[in-house]
Each structure stands twice: as structure tokens, then as C-alpha cells.
Structure 1
């Protein structure tokens, strides 16, 4: 079972526990801004991610507003990830909390 997590806690997990952050938004949205160190995963890149990811490290799933990430988090949990989180508020809330999100144009 995945857990829902607040933005501040997701940031702490990424910094202190080296959590993997998966962004499931579309390529254009990701290019405009994303959490530093996050990996964009879609249907094409999913098999590679599943093969290379450390299933013992925390995994934080990010979408636009924190809704789609819940379904994705459940999927990752079913794939054998042990510590899975869906970030409440999604990237839209993250960029309000941390306005200097990385973008590909930086």
C-alpha cells in the first residue's frame, strides 16, 4: 500500500533518504519545470525504469495535482517497490512551495 505525503515531507525524503522521484506528467510540462533529480516516466520508459530502479529506496510519485500519482503509486507498489508515496498537491503545489523548480531551459 502506498502512502500520501505532504510536499515538505517529500522534499525531506529526497534530501535525507535519497528517495527516487518519478514524474508522470507529459514531456512538455516536465520540460517547463520539474523537481530537481526527478525522472520522467511514461509508458515507453517504464520498463527501463522498473529494471534499473532500486526498489528498496523510497519512491515519490508526482503528477500535476496529486490525483493521478495515487494510481501510479499503487502500480509501483504492486511492482515490488517497498516504500511508495503519492505527493499531495502534485507539482503545481510543489512549485508554489519551492518556486525555483528546475527546468530544461536553465
Structure 2
């Protein structure tokens, strides 16, 4: 697989390590109410309203970890971001629901 047009699935632990070690962008694609009720610290909430702006202003060399509820929708979104020129894209298996069982949330 060509990394420039695909993504990798990674675990909650690997996602946290990428955030801590590589300053990865944690992109939360859940609905606004869910994001308001709790999210990964320092995550970016991406909606249809700010998607174009996010893509235009993002550092596409920085690792991007896409987060949804359970790790399903994030796979399609990660594939989309890979197609938009992001070089290092991940879908977090288990999603926010798994993250909050293991790590603090904001």
C-alpha cells in the first residue's frame, strides 16, 4: 500500500504514544454534543463546517490520528485525509469510548 493514499489502524496506546512523542494531531470527528461532553485533551474537533479550513491550514507532515466513537467511521475519514495529502494518517481502533476507559478526557 502506498502510504500517501492510505492510513494505518492503531490502538489506543499507540495513539497516546504518538500524541505524546510526535505531537500528533488528534482529529475528533464525532458530533458537537458528544465532543462537548468529553474529548481527548488537545484534540481538534472537525466538522463539515470547519473541514476545508482544517485541510487548508494543517501541517500535512504531522501525524494525524482520526478519532470517532468506536473506530469505524474514523477509518473512512482517515482514508479521506490520506487522499487529501496527509502523509501519516491513522484511525484509532476503539475510538473515544475505548480511550476514556484508559486515559483522562477533557
TM-score, normalisation: structure 1: 0.94
Matched, 1:15 2:15: no
Q: Which runs of 5+ in 1 are unaligned?
A: none
Name whichever of 37-46 and 69-78 sits farther off. Answer: 37-46
Q: What's the Cα RMSD here?
A: 0.5
TM-score, normalisation: structure 2: 0.94
**What displacement does 1:51 show?**
1.0
Runs of 4+ with >6 A deviation: none
For residues 43 and 32 of structure 1, what CA distance do their matches in structure 2 show? 19
Instruction: Count residues in correspondence.
Output: 101
Residue from 80, 95, 105 that aligns with 1:101: 105
Secondary structure of the residue aligned to 2:17 is helix
Indicate the residue corresponding to 2:67 in structure 1: 62
Matched, 1:83 2:88: yes
Residue from 5, 25, 38 that aligns with 2:30: 25
Indicate the residue corresponding to 2:57 in structure 1: 52
Q: Which runs of 5+ in 2 are unaligned?
A: 1-5
